[in-house]
Amino acid sequence: MKSKPRRTRSPGPAASAAPALPEGATERTARAVPPTQPSRRLDVFANPAKERDYLIRFVIPEFTCLCPLTGQPDFAHFTIDMVADKVCIELKSLKLYCWSYRDVGAFHEKVTNDIVDDIVRATDPRFVRITAKWNVRGGIYTNVVAEHRQKGWKAPVAIELPPAD
């Protein structure tokens, strides 16, 4: 039985060292345009349980922006706690929104408060709090907590339950 010749990678200086591709396989190439782009738009969807106060917690462990003075990257761990009213934030839009800060120079305090303001504009939540834990800069860690409460909204009293047996 005669075997078919295998397809190999593009010829070039390292072609002889590259392994052959399996029969029928094609080499993956980079897209001309990435499938998604950073965006400052926060998409929303209808709150499925607007009659109830419930906590939505977004954890963003890899938030990045730039130091406005040095241009060096600043890294933070964001926790966004939100009690939605009529609408909730769609997760992919939140991811792309956070990504949009990657090349933006901003002080920790400003970027944290700007994000609270953008969430309030997009969703008008009953409550939102961002806890931003910034990595060390100049030997100092910075934590910024910013929040917003809808006028007249009061948090329900938490119920303390005994530990499960």
- Among all residues, which ones are annotated catalytic? 67, 74
13 CB-contact burial (10 Å; exposed 0-12 / middle 13-18 / buried 19+): exposed
- CB neighbourhood size of 59 (10 A): 9
Confirm if 80 and 147 have CB atoms less than 8 A apart. no
Separation of alpha carbons 132 and 130, rounded Å: 6
Largest CA distance in the chain: 82
d(CA 51, CA 39): 31
Phi-psi label, residue 24: left if phi above 0, alpha if psi -120 to 50, beta otherwise: left
Taking only Cα atoms into account, the Rg of the chain, rounded to an integer number of angstroms, comes to 24
